[in-house]
Amino acid sequence: MAKATKKVAKKKVVAKKVTKKATTTKKVVKKVTKKAPAKSKPAPKKVSSKVTKLKVGDSAPDFTLLDQNGKSVSLHDFKGKKVVVYFYPKAMTPGCTVQACEIRNSESKLKSAHIVVLGISADPVKSLKKFEEKEKLNFSLLSDPEKKVIQSYGAWGLKKFMGREFEGILRQSFLIDSEGKIVQIMEKVDTKTHHDDILGFFKNH
């Protein structure tokens, strides 16, 4: 009987130890859970929604940006000349390449009409240089990585592609007269006829 009583006592002690360990484990799990809450993914950065909406007759906002050669170019450098400021989504993409090459091919006609062309995108200077060299472009490509000029002209907004909506650079052109006034805003640009549309407008105005 004494041996049986000792065995029962040992079992009770073992059971208590197991229970204590289980309780301790639960407490540790709870502490870990409290210390490591689920991290929420940071929201994607958005470009400022303060986009200017320009209209014909407004003075074209002045700017200074780096061109494909790293040289500073300002709009006021061309006072007294007709200027085309055109915004495009991305260098070396299909539509933007067609548009740029057609402007390149129209160099003599544009010069004869005293028209200066400035292409603006958010691409870095390096990418613009590659674009120039690859397509043998002959006009200024300006880099606006912070999109400040793009927004000041209202060339930033909601776009749709393949059923997806997103914010991005709008393909738009602003035609500016010799006095620095906006005389035409092309909100729907045809990349294949853009050069002719520019020449046609200035010829008739």
77 versus 34: the higher-pLDDT residue is 77
Structure confidence at residue 61 (pLDDT): 97
Whether the CB-CB separation of 62 and 76 falls below 8 Å is answered with yes
Q: What gap in Å lies between CA 162 and CA 116, rounded to an integer?
A: 35
Per-residue confidence band for 30, with pLDDT thresholds at 50, 70 and 90: very low
pLDDT the model gives residue 173: 98
Lowest pLDDT segment from 2-16, 75-89, 147-161, 179-193: 2-16
pLDDT of amino acid 47? 47
Active site residue 96: yes
- Assign 71 a pLDDT band (cuts: 50, 70, 90): very high
Angle at 50 between CA 60 and CA 62, to 5 degrees: 20
Q: How far apart are CA 102 and CA 50, in angstroms?
A: 33
The pLDDT of residue 37: 52
Query: pLDDT category, 166, cuts 50, 70, 90?
Result: confident
For residue 205, name the pLDDT band (cuts at 50, 70, 90). confident
Average confidence (pLDDT) over 79-83: 95
- Looking at every residue in the chain, the average pLDDT score rounds to 84
Contact 95, 171 (CB under 8 A): yes
Checking if the pLDDT of 76 tops 60, the result is: yes
Residue 63 has a pLDDT of 98
pLDDT above 50 (res 75): yes
Using CB atoms within 10 Å of the CB of residue 50, give its burial: 0 to 12 exposed, 13 to 18 middle, 19+ buried: exposed
Round to whole Å and give the CA distance between 25 and 18. Answer: 11
- Pick the catalytic residue from 60, 96, 175, 182: 96
- Looking at residue 15, its pLDDT comes to 47
